[in-house]
C-alpha cells in the first residue's frame, strides 16, 4: 500500500514543532493547553496546513521552552542569517504589538536598512525621496486600518 504525503505548504515549521513537542514528551493536547491554542489548530500547524501568526508562534515557543526566534525563522518571518539585528527580534517578540503592527514595523525597519545600504548611512540627508514615499505609504496604510 502506498502512503500518501498529506503535508501542507508549511511542512518544515510543522515538523520542527512536532519534533520539539516529541522531545519535550508532550502530547498535542498538552502542548495546545500550555500554548493556549486549540488542539485541532496545533494539529493543523504540525501537519503543515496552517501558518500561525507571530503571536501564536511565540506562545508555542514559550510552551516548548525554546526561542521564539527559532520558530520565526522556520516560519519565514525572520531571515536565518546569523547577523539578524536585535531590532527585528525585539519587534517580533513584543507581546504588546498586534501582528499587523509587527509587520508594519518590520516593513519600516527594512526600508530604513535599505536606505542606509544604498545611500551610505542613516543621516537625514541621505534618505531618498523614494524612501520617504515608502515610509509614507506604510504609515498611511496603518492609519487606514
12-53: pLDDT as tens digits: 889 999 999 998 899 999 999 999 999 999 999 999 898 898
Nine cell digits for residue 97: 504589538
Which phi and psi (to 5°) does residue 129 adopt?
A: -65, -35
Q: Give the confidence band of 3 by pLDDT, cuts at 50, 70, 90.
A: very low
Q: Rounded to an integer, what distance in angstroms lies between the CA atom of residue 1 and that of residue 41?
A: 29
Identify the pLDDT of residue 130: 61
Q: Supply the Cα-derived Rg of the chain in whole angstroms.
A: 18
Q: Rounded to an integer, what distance in angstroms lies between the CA atom of residue 1 and that of residue 30?
A: 33
Which residues, including other chains, have CB under 8 Å from residue 84's CB and lie 6 or more apart?
Answer: 69, 78
DSSP state of 93: H
Identify the pLDDT of residue 39: 95
Residue that wins the pLDDT comparison between 46 and 93:
46
Query: What is the average pLDDT value for the chain, to the nearest integer?
Result: 76
Class of domain 1-81: mainly alpha
The residue-averaged pLDDT of 121-143 equals 59
Instruction: Return the biggest CA–CA distance within the chain.
Output: 67
* Short-list 130, 140, 138, CA closest to 104: 138
Q: Rounded to an integer, what distance in angstroms lies between the CA atom of residue 117 and that of residue 85?
A: 14
Amino acid at each position: 500500500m502506498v502512503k500518501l504525503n498529506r503535508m501542507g505548504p508549511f511542512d518544515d515549521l510543522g515538523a520542527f514543532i512536532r519534533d520539539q513537542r516529541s522531545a519535550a514528551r508532550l502530547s498535542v493536547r498538552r502542548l495546545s493547553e500550555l500554548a493556549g491554542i486549540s488542539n485541532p489548530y496545533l494539529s493543523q500547524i504540525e501537519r503543515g496546513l496552517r501558518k500561525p501568526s507571530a503571536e501564536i508562534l511565540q506562545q508555542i515557543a514559550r510552551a516548548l521552552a525554546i526561542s521564539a526566534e527559532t520558530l520565526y525563522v522556520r516560519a519565514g518571518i525572520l531571515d536565518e542569517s546569523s547577523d539578524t539585528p536585535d531590532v527585528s527580534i525585539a519587534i517580533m517578540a513584543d507581546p504588546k504589538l498586534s501582528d499587523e503592527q509587527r509587520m508594519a514595523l518590520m516593513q519600516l525597519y527594512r526600508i530604513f536598512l535599505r536606505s542606509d545600504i544604498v545611500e551610505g548611512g542613516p543621516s537625514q540627508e541621505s534618505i531618498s525621496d523614494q524612501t520617504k514615499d515608502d515610509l509614507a505609504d506604510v504609515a498611511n496604510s496603518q492609519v487606514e486600518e
